Amino acid sequence: MAEGVDTPTAILASAAAALRENPFDDISYRALGDAVGVSERTVYRHFPTRSHLLEGVAGWIESTEFPLPPFVTIPQFQEASRARFLAFDASPAFAFVCARAASISPTGESEATFFTRALVAMLATNYPSVNERDLRRVAATLRYFASTQFWARMRTGFDLSAPEISDAFDRTVAQALSGLPTLTRTSR
């Protein structure tokens, strides 16, 4: 194991590397332990079920292969999402693993993710008169349509490419935001 890397991170990196050659279901805990230099039992201690491992690998892949650039404005969010759709097209096996993980019941913390909090903050800044519940509803909509799940459904269900998925995404963002009151600033 590389010096300075913790065991769970090494296991996730090893699992992601194994995904380049094998489907997720063919990756064994024993092989992960051997690759990292720990026992199979240690792998189970960190990831007690396949769902835990899948969720962990997906999170690792999302942060290393598909990081979402920072955004403050809605156009920046749209551009960042379009760039991710292109990245998903470039590494579809990784993107499909992330989409699969997103479709299982969460095994981790139920706290809102950084991405969700960033969406709510962006919307609150652009639409200050909208109540918290409606901000969360629109944020949930935007989050889904920027996700690997949406990309995977468009790729497999409609055989759309990243640019075509981006067009559908942009129309959805416009529709989701159309009902919100626009921000008007007064000059000082």
Q: Is 70 exceeded by the pLDDT of residue 40?
A: yes
- Tell me the angle at which helices 92-102 and 148-158 cross, rounded to the nearest 10 degrees: 110
Alpha-helix runs per DSSP H in 47-130: 50-64, 74-90, 92-102, 114-126
Share of the chain above pLDDT 90, in %: 75
Look at residue 2 and tell me whether its pLDDT is greater than 60. Answer: no
Mean pLDDT of the chain: 89
**What is the Cα 161 distance to its own chain's centre?**
18
Mean pLDDT, to the nearest integer, of 134-157?
94
Convert the pLDDT of each residue in 22-33 to its tens digit.
999 999 999 999
List of domains in the chain: 7-48 (1.10.10.60), 67-178 (no CATH)
Total-model pTM = 0.84
pLDDT at 3 (0 to 100): 54
